[in-house]
């Protein structure tokens, strides 16, 4: 039994190694190995997603309640049936009801969450930073000022309103231009940080995959 | 009992009969002189004609003529002469007297004829005959201008005839066929025309027409031209009506009506329909009249064949023949007649039943064969002698003669203008259209058009850099595995995470939301592995869910890896996997409203809330902490926005990828997130705080080398770009 498990692990290790090498083959450009690996991943993920939806969504949250006699579950059943009509161009308009429910509820939740969870809390946090400075150190005051300037400058940068003088192109005011320039700096730093994070994540994945390749080769060669 | 043989029809009659029962003709004792038989009459006729070779029918006709002559001779006796006053006061005029005398026998004969027959020839006729005549003539008096001309022409002709007769003794009767036939309802002029017709019947063998009728082969030209005479105004329908033989009692051969009809038709002055006339193609009346006038000679040529004996008489030579009259009369009555609509105004079969009146006493019989042969229905249209001018030469009726000339509609309409589907645009418009097409075209197309092939240098540069990165990784992992320079200072958000985990109660489960993809599972493992080990070391119960399909499965793998390091932790009893939470932000929101309804079952479809780990949990507040493991900044933000307000002091810890950390850092600064562990650096820091060696610290050296290599590449690339600016049109 242990020998069998070992062989199965080696098979899966070999498969994983081959698929990893297929993905790395993209270094030499788009090729059949890379496309095969990507297609395989997409197909496996789709199949897995279908099984998960069936066993972890439809069955426990729709079929089982219907069997138990929950009439409320008829609502999602009807909406799901209407959503399937989207497959037919002739009666696809019936699915608009389900789409309206989905989009409407999703938009409402997203807007409510963004307002209450992000905007208000971020503004409050910015204000509180100054309140904290009264009891804090001078560094905290500088950080709060820096944070305030960066926030305001970034918001001003995204303000594209300007007055137009006769005979001249629309142009921002001097204050707005200065703040927009400062905001552009903060935005560039933020995007640089995001890019650094993406690069960091990629390098981490590269390290992890490099280690897997080495370990797999060593295990297959030693095993 | 002896029988009397009718001299006309040769049929036996009873001895007491005075008239033939079949033809109503007078029998011998009434017609001929006493002792004169029919054979005698025939022999006399043969002497007159000088030919015994005439056919039987001609002999019979001439026999009847002889009988009539004898009757005329008998009527010319002094006893029968009318008074001078009745003769118009011209008692001294011998020709007039003779003419009057020639009319007397007819009157006498007419007095002997039946009433219905008298009505045919003398005005006022019977009502039925009158209507029949009206049927055959133009019904509207206002259209009789041509008839007036005809009468005047007839009168002049008679005057000419009288003059001729005065010049040549003795006066001869008028040639029968010289008179144009006119029919109509006007009784006065009808009487004028009927009288000379009867006169002509004295000289003209009226039976000749019978023979002509019996003769089936009448020249087609003649029949057609006779149909064009004014007397044949009525159309083919009327002819069909008259001789249909179904509505009227059949007339036998030799019947007086038939005889009179045939005589009238033969003489050209008859008012009865002409049976053998073929249907004439519809033409303009003026054209027809123009064509009729010069062909009258031909019409009578075949008739003169039977009139040779009379033609030899000198008094007839003095008279102009009918054909000559027709040709020498420039003022022919029809030539000056304007085309009228008389042909169209002829009433149609509404007069049909009126014709039955005269034949009421006639015994119904089968229509004789010769009469059936006269039926216009059965007549075959003869080739028209009309010149081919009327032949349609084009169109759907091409080749058909006599077709009505319709309005030339083709000339009234012009050919519609042809519009092509090619858009006519100016050069400027086409230039703008081309510009718009270029704007709307796919960027790739334009790029391919401008850059047919990728520069070889850039392709090889990318390959070289990729290989360099791989070589560095393998070199570090092979040559110096685990060698790294670990940071001494820890990020505060990571330190808060360590602190919070240390402060968690072991009876309150920690809900782990695994929302990351398989591609970044390695990095997420480096970041979360140390925290999971920490939780297991503290024997904290764990509940796992995921808002993507693979998150819970990947988290199972991480827990299995951590359990390998913390053997004291029983994952089977301390971990509950709720599996997939559908709906993303909506599903997250449902957790805040009713946790147990949102997650009714675990991944194995078992009642999850009966598990000892979570049986005391009814809402998010009952949790020890909420750990969100995600590689996406938006997913972390959703958790913060939707769930964090409902936590009510329950710590929210984010374990994120390095790429999501910068976007989630403000939430930590605002206090919405309690702690953040991001990437391999955060995991390595967490391991250092735990003082346990782990994968993060092991691979952190390689990670650092790669970061340095990338930084070096950026520096070199920047220097190169400073020394050698990029080519115009290329990006960086």
Q: Do B549 and A200 touch (CB under 8 A)?
A: no
Closest chain B C-alpha to A157 CA, distance in angstroms: 19
Closest chain B C-alpha to A165 CA, distance in angstroms: 31
Higher pLDDT, B405 or B429: B429
Higher pLDDT, A198 or B290: A198
Closest alpha carbon within chain A to B525: A208
Q: Which residues of A touch B663 (CB under 8 A)?
A: 194
Q: Which residues of A touch B589 (CB under 8 A)?
A: 109, 113
C-alpha to C-alpha distances, B398 to B391, B393, B394, B401, B406, nearest whole angstrom? 7, 5, 5, 8, 13
d(C-alpha A152, C-alpha B352), whole Å: 114
Given a cut of 50, is residue B572 above it in pLDDT?
yes
Q: Which tens digit of pLDDT belongs to each residue from B657-680?
A: 999 999 999 899 888 999 999 999
Q: Which residues of B touch A120 (CB under 8 A)?
A: none
Q: Which of B463, B470, B659 comes nearest A210 by C-beta? A: B470
- Greatest extent of chain B over all pairs of C-alpha atoms, in Å: 180
Closest alpha carbon within chain B to A110: B585
* Lowest-confidence region among A111-125, B150-164, B581-595: B150-164
Encode B394-414: b = buried (16+ Cβ within 10 Å), e = exposed. Answer: eeeeeeebebeeeeeeeeeee
Mean pLDDT score across all residues of chain B: 68
In 3-state terms, what secondary structure has residue B713?
A: helix
Closest chain A C-alpha to B707 CA, distance in angstroms: 7
- Give residue B305's pLDDT band: very low, low, confident or very high (50, 70, 90): low
pLDDT at B244: 42
Which A residues in the span 14-53 are in contact with B, Cβ-Cβ below 8 Å?
24, 27-29, 45, 48-49, 52-53
Best of A207, A214, A218 to disrupt the B interface (most B CBs within 10 Å) is A207
> Which region holds residue B479: left if phi is over 0, alpha if psi is between -120 and 50, else beta?
alpha
Given a cut of 60, is residue B561 above it in pLDDT?
yes
Encode B113-151: b = buried (16+ Cβ within 10 Å), e = exposed. Answer: beebbbbbbbeebbebbbbbbbbbbbbeeebbebbebbb
Q: What is the mean pLDDT of residues B477-482?
A: 84
Burial of B520 (0-12, 13-18, 19+ CB in 10 A): buried
Q: Which of B627, B644, B543 is nearest to B585 (CA)?
A: B644
pLDDT at A133: 52
Closest alpha carbon within chain A to B578: A56
Closest chain B C-alpha to A124 CA, distance in angstroms: 8
Higher pLDDT, A127 or A34: A34
Q: Do A196 and B661 touch (CB under 8 A)?
A: no
Q: Do B642 and A109 touch (CB under 8 A)?
A: yes
d(C-alpha B366, C-alpha B372), whole Å: 10
Q: Which of B467, B663, B670 comes nearest A27 by C-beta? A: B467
- Residues A95/A103, Cβ–Cβ less than 8 Å: no
Q: What is the mean pLDDT of residues B86-103?
A: 46
- Cβ–Cβ contact A125 with B under 8 A: yes
- Cβ–Cβ contact A197 with B under 8 A: yes
Q: Which of A48, A55, A208 comes nearest B699 by C-beta? A: A208
pLDDT at A173: 83
The gap from C-alpha B243 to its chain's centroid, in whole angstroms, comes to: 44
Q: Which of B459, B605, B670 comes nearest A60 by C-beta? A: B605
> Encoding tokens for residue B622?
């009952």
- DSSP letter at B21 equals T
Give the length of chain A.
Answer: 223
Q: Do A56 and B669 touch (CB under 8 A)?
A: no
Q: Which tens digit of pLDDT belongs to each residue from A67-114?
A: 998 888 899 999 999 999 999 888 889 999 999 999 999 999 999 999
Closest alpha carbon within chain B to A105: B586
* Lowest-confidence region among A2-11, B71-80, B519-528, B613-622: B71-80
Q: Which residues of A touch B666 (CB under 8 A)?
A: 122, 125
d(C-alpha B604, C-alpha B544), whole Å: 13
Given a cut of 50, is residue B696 above it in pLDDT?
yes
Q: Do B661 and A197 touch (CB under 8 A)?
A: yes
- DSSP letter at B282 equals P
Q: Which residues of B touch A114 (CB under 8 A)?
A: 641
Q: Do B640 and A45 touch (CB under 8 A)?
A: no
pLDDT at B444: 57
- Residues B623/B616, Cβ–Cβ less than 8 Å: no
């Amino acid at each position: 039994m242990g020998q069998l498990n070992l062989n199965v692990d080696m098979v899966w290790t070999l498969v994983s190694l081959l698929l990893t090498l297929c993905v790395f083959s993209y270094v030499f450009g788009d090729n059949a190995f890379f496309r095969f690996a990507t297609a395989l991943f997409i197909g496996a993920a789709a199949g897995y997603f279908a099984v998960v939806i069936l066993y972890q969504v439809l069955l426990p949250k729709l079929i089982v309640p219907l069997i138990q006699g929950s009439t409320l579950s008829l609502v999602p059943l009807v909406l799901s049936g209407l959503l399937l009509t989207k497959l037919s161009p002739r009666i696809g308009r019936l699915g608009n009801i389900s789409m309206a429910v989905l989009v409407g509820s999703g938009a409402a939740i997203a807007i409510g969450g963004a307002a209450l969870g992000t905007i208000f809390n971020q503004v409050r946090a910015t204000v509180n930073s100054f309140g904290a400075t009264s009891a804090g150190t001078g560094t905290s005051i500088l950080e709060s000022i820096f944070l305030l300037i960066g926030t305001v400058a970034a918001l001003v940068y995204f303000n594209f309103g300007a007055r137009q003088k006769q005979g001249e192109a629309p142009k921002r005011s001097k204050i707005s231009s200065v703040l927009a320039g400062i905001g552009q700096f903060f935005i560039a730093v933020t995007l640089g940080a995001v890019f650094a994070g993406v690069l960091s994540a990629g390098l981490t994945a590269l390290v992890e995959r490099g280690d897997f390749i080495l370990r797999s080769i060593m295990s297959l060669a030693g095993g | 009992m002896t029988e009397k043989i009718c001299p006309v029809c040769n049929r036996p009659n009873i001895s007491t009969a005075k008239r033939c029962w079949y033809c109503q003709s007078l029998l011998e004792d009434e017609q001929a002189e006493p002792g004169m038989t029919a054979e005698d009459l025939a022999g006399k006729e043969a002497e007159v004609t000088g030919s015994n070779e005439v056919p039987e029918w001609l002999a019979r006709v001439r026999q009847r003529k002889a009988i009539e002559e004898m009757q005329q001779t008998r009527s010319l006796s002094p006893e029968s002469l009318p008074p001078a006053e009745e003769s118009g006061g011209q008692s001294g005029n011998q020709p007039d007297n003779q003419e009057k005398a020639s009319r007397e026998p007819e009157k006498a004969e007419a007095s002997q004829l039946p009433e219905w027959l008298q009505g045919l020839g003398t005005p006022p006729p019977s009502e039925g005959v009158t209507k029949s005549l009206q049927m055959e003539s133009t019904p509207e008096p206002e259209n009789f201008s041509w008839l007036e001309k005809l009468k005047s022409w007839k009168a002049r002709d008679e005057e000419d005839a009288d003059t001729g007769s005065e010049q040549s003794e003795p006066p001869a009767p008028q040639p029968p066929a010289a008179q144009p036939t006119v029919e109509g309802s006007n009784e006065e002029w009808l009487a004028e025309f009927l009288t000379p017709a009867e006169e002509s019947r004295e000289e003209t063998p009226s039976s000749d027409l019978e023979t002509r009728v019996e003769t089936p082969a009448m020249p087609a030209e003649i029949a057609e031209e006779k149909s064009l005479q004014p007397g044949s105004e009525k159309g083919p329908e009327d002819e069909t009506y008259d001789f249909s033989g179904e509505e009227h009692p059949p007339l036998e051969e030799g019947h007086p009506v038939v005889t009179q009809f045939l005589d009238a038709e033969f003489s050209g002055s008859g008012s009865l329909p002409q049976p053998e006339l073929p249907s004439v193609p519809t033409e303009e009346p003026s054209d027809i009249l123009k064509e009729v006038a010069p062909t009258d000679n031909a019409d009578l040529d075949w008739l003169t064949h039977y009139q040779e004996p009379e033609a030899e008489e000198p008094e007839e030579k003095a008279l102009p023949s009918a054909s000559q009259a027709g040709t020498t009369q420039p003022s022919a009555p029809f030539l000056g007649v304007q085309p009228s609509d008389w042909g169209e105004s002829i009433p149609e079969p509404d007069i049909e039943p009126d014709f039955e009146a005269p034949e009421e006493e006639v015994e119904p019989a089968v229509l004789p064969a010769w009469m059936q042969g006269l039926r216009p229905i059965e007549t075959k249209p003869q080739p028209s002698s009309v010149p081919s001018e009327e032949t349609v030469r084009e169109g759907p009726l091409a080749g058909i003669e006599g077709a009505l000339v319709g309005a030339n509609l083709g000339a009234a309409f012009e050919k519609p203008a042809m519009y092509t589907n090619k858009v006519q645009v100016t050069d400027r418009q086409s230039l703008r259209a081309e510009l718009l097409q270029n704007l709307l075209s796919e960027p790739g197309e334009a790029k391919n058009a401008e850059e047919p092939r990728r520069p070889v240098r850039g392709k090889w540069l990318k390959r070289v850099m990729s290989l360099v990165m791989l070589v560095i990784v393998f070199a570090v992992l092979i040559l110096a595995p685990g060698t790294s320079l670990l940071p001494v200072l820890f990020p505060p958000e990571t330190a808060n995470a360590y602190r919070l985990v240390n402060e968690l109660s072991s009876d309150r489960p920690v809900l782990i939301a695994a929302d990351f993809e398989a591609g970044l599972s390695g990095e997420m493992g480096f970041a979360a592995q140390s925290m999971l080990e920490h939780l297991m070391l503290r024997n904290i119960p764990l509940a796992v869910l995921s808002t993507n399909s693979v998150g819970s499965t990947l988290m199972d793998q991480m827990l299995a890896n951590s359990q390998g390091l913390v053997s004291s932790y029983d994952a089977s009893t301390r971990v509950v996997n709720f599996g997939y939470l559908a709906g993303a932000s909506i599903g997250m929101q449902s957790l805040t409203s009713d946790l147990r309804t949102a997650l009714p079952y675990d991944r194995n479809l078992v009642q999850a809330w009966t598990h000892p780990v979570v049986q005391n949990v009814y809402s998010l507040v009952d949790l020890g902490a909420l750990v969100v493991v995600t590689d996406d900044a938006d997913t972390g933000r959703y958790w913060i926005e939707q769930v964090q307000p409902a936590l009510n002091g329950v710590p929210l810890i984010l374990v994120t990828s390095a790429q999501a950390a910068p976007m989630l850092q403000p939430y930590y600064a605002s206090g919405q997130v309690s702690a953040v562990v991001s990437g391999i650096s955060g995991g390595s820091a967490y391991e250092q705080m735990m003082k346990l060696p782990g994968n993060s610290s092991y691979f952190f050296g390689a990670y650092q080398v790669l970061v340095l290599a990338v930084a070096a590449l950026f520096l070199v690339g920047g220097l190169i770009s400073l020394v050698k600016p990029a080519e115009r049109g290329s990006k960086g």
